[in-house]
Amino acid sequence: MILNYENIDDLNRYKIMSGSIVPRPIAWIVTDDNGILNAAPFSYFIPISTNPALVIVAIGKKDDGSLKDTLANILKTKKATICFPNRTNVEQVQKCATPLAKNESEIEKFEINVRKELEDYPPLISSTQTALFCEYYDTYKVEGDTTPIILKINYQYIEDGRISDRNHTNIDSIGRSGITFKAMVDL
């Protein structure tokens, strides 16, 4: 069976793409707008370059057509801290996907513990095993409602014991597969 994308509407493309391009890592992005901490998950997310160290995250619009808070905050402050959910916080991740008013904080409303590690970046979510401290780098222009933004990793937090002296890491993040979450497992 060949699917011709010209004949598939956006919702069904999304269902097919997100159920086929699996698993995808989940960027649980924390941003800060004058002390209002925002946290939201994004799975249209992937590394694209090592030097410079770049990741891309594609952010859609809110239902009313306005920018999602994460994108608005990144464009304003140029900073983002990317955390990674694990098995223990699936529920919190799902709650963070609820659209809230711009002046409401997911971190406060859903009582998510955060910790400031670097002065010039938003705090990290305490349960994350690793976090990327990023600055805005560029926007990749595409037609339609999605804004793929490129972020540059300047610093990384990694929990003690999760990186070896040869820089091999051991991170138990979960990924997105269709509408479900999947843990990464060794073959």
Ligand X SMILES: Cc1cc2nc3c(=O)[nH]c(=O)nc-3n(C[C@H](O)[C@H](O)[C@H](O)COP(=O)(O)O)c2cc1C
Binding stretches for ligand X (CB under 6 A): 26, 38, 40-44, 58-60, 68-70, 93-94, 97, 99, 176
- Report the nearest approach of ligand X to the CB of residue 163 (Å): 25
Q: How far is the CB of 88 from ligand X (least distance, A)?
A: 15
- Nearest distance in Å: CB 45, ligand X: 6
Question: Which H or E run contains 107?
Answer: helix 106-109
Burial 149-177 (b: 16+ CB within 10 A, else e): bbbbbeeebeeeeeeeeeeeeeeebbbbb
- Which residues face 124 on adjacent strands? 115
* Residue 39 C-beta: closest distance to ligand X, Å: 7
Q: In what order do the strands lie in the sheet with 180-183?
A: 24-25, 174-177, 180-183
Q: What is the C-alpha separation between 42 and 27, in angstroms, rounded?
A: 5
